[in-house]
Amino acid sequence: MSQAPLYIGFDLSTQQLKGLVVNSDLKVVYVSKFDFDADSRGFPIKKGVITNEAEHEVFAPVAMWLQALDGVLDGLRKQGLDFRQIKGISGAGQQHGSVYWGENAEVLLKSLDSSKSLEEQLDGAFSHPFSPNWQDSSTQAECDQFDEFLGSQEELALATGSKAHHRFTGPQILRFQHKYPDVYNKTLRISLVSSFLASLFLGRIAPFDISDVCGMNLWNIKMGAYDDKLLQLCAGPSGTEDLKRKLGPVFEDGGIHLGPIDRYYVERYGFSPDCTIIPATGDNPATILALPLRASDAMVSLGTSTTFLMSTPSYKPDPATHFFNHPTTPGLYMFMLCYKNGGLAREQIRDAINKKLGEEPLFPWANFDQVTLDTPPLGQKSDADPMKMGLFFPRPEIVPNLRAGQWRFNYHPADNSLRLTTEGWNEPLDEARAIVESQMLSLRLRSQGLTQSPGKGIPAQPRRVYLVGGGSKNKAIAEVAGEILGGSEGVYQLEIGDNACALGAAYKAVWAMERTPGQTFEDLIGKRWHEEEFVKKIAVGYQKGVFERYGQAVEGFKKMELEVLRQEGKIKA
């Protein structure tokens, strides 16, 4: 009897490695996790990373990930998975992190002994034992060089989809090359975390994924090639050809079959020798593959930080945003906004409200939600009232680039006047709605150029807004998200817990192995996805009148940000 095919999606994130097994109907049948802090042995890590505060470095031991991979596969075996059923493997890796392979990497990868663990045999395969993590901020000097090299941040964003960021791999490689010149010379290849994962399964170094390569500040998106000028900046004395060799080729097709699984896994775990390896992508690109996201749908991840993701045919780069190639569909791009502030900022106001009201509710967010819903949009009891708006950053923010702090304003749309004041504010109660509005207005301001009108007489807006992460449980946040961002079909909660990236990676493998010639990811997954099992409509979305009022508030919000940036000396008066 032939057995039904299964697919694994891995998620190699900061704090854990997860392996999630799905069948062709997209149902999850096994999950295995390896938590770095709880389950790894022999690494001095905290929350999955090592920190060198003196140099603002954050990095992870690569050998720990090898330990984790055997751990996750062992876990799946113990649960009874028959590895012979696995037809394809893909993955999601934390973005931007780099792995430095040594001169003998390919030999070691090819000659793995199935009686030994990966860690025992591959520990010596790396020229450098650590992988810089996306939380690293050691590369300010290198970022300045990147931003200047093409003329301006705008030019760099136009070429690579993003201005220079500390965590992006190009600035990281430049710093590495300066800090460890000998090690850099002895580095055979450089992988991203995603391609590192694929390499382990392939038994040779895998190419970068077409979407994840855009997180390096080295890939010229429009040209579909490495940017020679930026390579020149990054390469140092050994030259650009050498760096190009280290980085390796990139294939446009995100579903390309890289090759069969290495013999090691066949012998050690019982995989079928024709199990196929599919390029692993970044965790954010994988997240948009957790559902058949259509162009004009938006995903908002409301965790400790806030991330906004959209699939779009438009390429309109700006220093405040990110564009990546779409992980599966040529001609589409992934648009991303990445904020440092999110849940923590909301929690501070939640706690202040609970304190003020003098009672700790059973659900800690109950008061915050109630107050938010009871407050009129922008705190305006009548049209004559000013719009109350503010910025709430317990941590330094990147969008816009501002120090930690809190600023509150009153804005009159009639004469476009703005005043830094808390006059008329009932603190902290008015801040509940104001903080949610502030976060959503920022998303609307920066994504409005990418949305289209869903029908005659209806303003441009996303078709659906999907909320994921902890904040998606708050009814009030969903309501306000819909009022501000719109969503002609409504606001939905994506009920896949913290599995989005691994699920997206597994779906990528399903698509790559089962697509008919030319069939897009959206088409194949769309036909098999039963939305009632995965999403719940939690707010109406677009409401005529309210959406337009918030349109006026977006103008005030833009003015407010500029005003604060000016006050803080970030832009000229």
Which residues make up the interface to ligand XUL (CB under 6 A)? 13-14, 94-96, 134, 167, 282-284, 338
Q: How far is the CB of 282 from ligand XUL (least distance, A)?
A: 6
- Return the number of the residue (94 or 199) whose C-beta is nearest ligand XUL: 94
In the 8-state DSSP scheme, what is residue 157? H
Q: How far is the CB of 133 from ligand XUL (least distance, A)?
A: 8
- Return the number of the residue (212 or 437) whose C-beta is nearest ligand XUL: 212
- Return the number of the residue (283 or 397) whose C-beta is nearest ligand XUL: 283
- Return the number of the residue (14 or 401) whose C-beta is nearest ligand XUL: 14
What is the distance between the alpha carbons of residues 554 and 454, in angstroms, rounded to a whole number? 20
- Return the number of the residue (34 or 134) whose C-beta is nearest ligand XUL: 134
What is the distance between the alpha carbons of residues 260 and 206, in angstroms, rounded to a whole number? 12
What is the distance between the alpha carbons of residues 332 and 522, in angstroms, rounded to a whole number? 11
Could you list the beta-strand ranges (E) of 159-296.
189-192, 219-220, 225-226, 259-260, 276-277, 281-282
- Return the number of the residue (96 or 446) whose C-beta is nearest ligand XUL: 96
What is the distance between the alpha carbons of residues 544 and 504, in angstroms, rounded to a whole number? 34
Determine contact, residues 506/496, Cβ cutoff 8 Å.
no
Q: How far is the CB of 420 from ligand XUL (least distance, A)?
A: 32
Q: Which two tokens stand for residue 331?
A: 């001609």
Q: How far is the CB of 226 from ligand XUL (least distance, A)?
A: 20
- Return the number of the residue (134 or 271) whose C-beta is nearest ligand XUL: 134
In the 8-state DSSP scheme, what is residue 472? G
Q: Mark residue 291 as left, alpha or beta (left: phi above 0; alpha: psi -120 to 50; beta: remaining).
A: beta
Determine contact, residues 118/66, Cβ cutoff 8 Å.
yes
Q: How far is the CB of 131 from ligand XUL (least distance, A)?
A: 12
Sign of CA dihedral 301, 140, 210, 119: negative
- 372: helix, coil or strand? helix
Q: How far is the CB of 437 from ligand XUL (least distance, A)?
A: 24
Q: How far is the CB of 78 from ligand XUL (least distance, A)?
A: 27
What is the distance between the alpha carbons of residues 279 and 207, in angstroms, rounded to a whole number? 8
- Return the number of the residue (87 or 322) whose C-beta is nearest ligand XUL: 322
Give the residue carrying structure tokens 């904020």: 339
Q: How far is the CB of 221 from ligand XUL (least distance, A)?
A: 15
What is the distance between the alpha carbons of residues 468 and 501, in angstroms, rounded to a whole number? 12
